[in-house]
Amino acid sequence: MVSVILCTYNREKTICEAVDSILAQTYRDFELLIVDDGSTDGTRALLEEYRDERMKCIYLPENSYYCYAANIGIEQVSGKYVAFATSDDVWMPEKLEKQVRYLEEHPKCGAVFSKVALIGKEGERVEKEYPEIMKMFEQDNRSRTEWMHRFLEEGNCLSHPASIVRKSILDNIGGYNLLYAQLADFDLWVRIVIESEIYIHPERLVKYRWYSEKGQISGLTEEKWMRMVHEFTMIKRNLLENLEDEKFKEFFQEMFRNPESSTHVELEFERAFLMMEKGIDFTRINLLGFQKIEEALRIPGAMKVLKKHFGMRIQDLYKQNGQKWYLDVSKEQLQNLEEQLEYLEEERRNLQIAIVQCEKEYNGILQSTCWKITKPLRAVLDIIKGK
């Protein structure tokens, strides 16, 4: 059985389409757990109209945000697999069937995702309008080590509503981190890959809704930008800090200052260097690295390891500690990002206008007298070309 968890908040315009796409799955052995996170619009009334015995709705008294609601759902599941749905995206009919089949045939795989189709506010296809978003989700399958490098250097690239995870994996790693408001799914993917392989199904099994209203694309404010920076930094720290030595070496040896590092104290220094030197630039925080170095230097013999194994003196650390501890993410950078977004939106609108104009001209040609008169001639030319 698959337990589908769908969390929603004030999605009266899209909730029915999302629910209907789940109930229409060709794979029938599933339960649908809907957690309404304190909606104040007509979402609850719409949900109460359904009479499908596979549905169970949980209504929370107030909005507590996605992670809390999703964890409530995880506590209620009874299936072998857990699929995460969203209240404004749409599943293709064979999504569960194809993903479950892969999991059944590949017991070492812990989670399956898929590629996505982008749809707009009214359900129209918008891949051409948002090529960068499509590029982000167009991922090939990788080894666990390659995924770890991708996550560290570039961040999330997996679609949340395209995911299905073994319940046994969630039992081992836990649910969503309640502190994360923006990167909670990314944090979950990282922890899953630590435990097992994942697979990207090549078909577009989800219609992922993406449109350009301010609140939907990101509502990029200084507060949200800084929260994203902080969450990514914490995810990076937790990843490098909590990995067992053997897994840390397996995943990140290619990034080591000294590829021969293997002892615990050597690996502790490598963790510190990765915190400071690898990953997206705004996560390269000297403070985290120096906190780790401080711990490593308490280990007997650490100074000798620092000099002999890494070719560094304590004076080198003093000099590095004179630099900024963290990247200054300024309002100017935020403004530049907003200007880039505005420019891209203007380009998208212009392209849309050009497409409409071309379609009008094309339809005008098709309806013209000249085009109709020359139809027999074109048919003869097609026959000649076919020969």
3-class SS string, 315-384: HHHHHHCCCCCCCCCCHHHHHHHHHHHHHHHHHHHHHHHHHHHHHHHHHHHHHCHHHHHCHHHHHHHHHH
d(CA 88, CA 207): 9
d(CA 81, CA 198): 14
| Most confident of the following: 25-29, 274-278, 333-337, 347-351 | 25-29
Q: What is the pLDDT of residues 268-323, one digit of tens each?
A: 999 999 999 998 887 887 888 899 999 999 999 999 999 999 999 999 999 988 87
State residue 218's pLDDT score: 41
The interaxial angle of helices 66-76 and 184-195, nearest 10 deg, is 40
d(CA 15, CA 50): 12
CB neighbour burial string for 114-137, b if at least 16 within 10 angstroms, e if fewer: bbbbbbeeeeeebeebbeebbeeb
The percent of residues in the chain predicted with pLDDT above 90, rounded, is: 71
Identify which of 243, 306, 312, 300 has the alpha carbon closest to the alpha carbon of residue 271: 243
d(CA 175, CA 157): 19
Handedness of CA 288, 290, 291, 297 (dihedral sign): positive
| Most confident of the following: 223-227, 239-243, 336-340, 370-374 | 239-243
Given a cut of 70, whether residue 387 has pLDDT beyond it is: no
Q: Which residue has the higher pLDDT, 333 or 41?
A: 41
Given a cut of 90, whether residue 165 has pLDDT beyond it is: yes
State residue 328's pLDDT score: 59
If you count them, how many residues does the chain have? Answer: 387
Cβ atoms of 177 and 126 within 8 Å: the answer is: no
d(CA 115, CA 205): 7
DSSP 125: B
* Mean pLDDT value across residues 354-362: 78
List CB contacts of 265: < 8 A, sequence separation 6 or more. 296, 299, 301, 302, 305
* Mean pLDDT value across residues 114-130: 92
Handedness of CA 255, 258, 260, 266 (dihedral sign): negative
Any idea which residue has 């200084």 for tokens? 222
State residue 109's pLDDT score: 98
* 2-220 CATH: 3.90.550.10
State residue 53's pLDDT score: 96
Q: Which of these ranges, 77-91, 124-138, 363-377, has the smallest mean pLDDT?
A: 363-377
Domain ranges of the chain: 2-220, 243-320
* Mean pLDDT value across residues 328-342: 61
d(CA 121, CA 129): 13
| Most confident of the following: 263-277, 355-369, 370-384 | 263-277
Q: Which residue has the higher pLDDT, 362 or 48?
A: 48
Q: Which two tokens stand for residue 246?
A: 């053997």
Identify which of 260, 256, 259, 254 has the alpha carbon closest to the alpha carbon of residue 272: 256
Q: Which residue has the higher pLDDT, 258 or 377?
A: 258
State residue 330's pLDDT score: 52
Q: What is the pLDDT of residues 203-260, one digit of tens each?
A: 999 999 987 653 444 445 778 888 888 999 999 999 999 999 999 999 999 999 999 9
β-strand partners of 125: 119
State residue 329's pLDDT score: 54
* Mean pLDDT value across residues 55-62: 98
* Mean pLDDT value across residues 352-371: 76
What is the average pLDDT score of the chain? 90
* Mean pLDDT value across residues 107-117: 98
State residue 351's pLDDT score: 78
Identify which of 192, 211, 185 has the alpha carbon closest to the alpha carbon of residue 122: 211
DSSP 177: -
d(CA 64, CA 363): 51
H or E segment at 90? strand 90-91
d(CA 68, CA 173): 16
* Mean pLDDT value across residues 55-76: 97
State residue 217's pLDDT score: 41
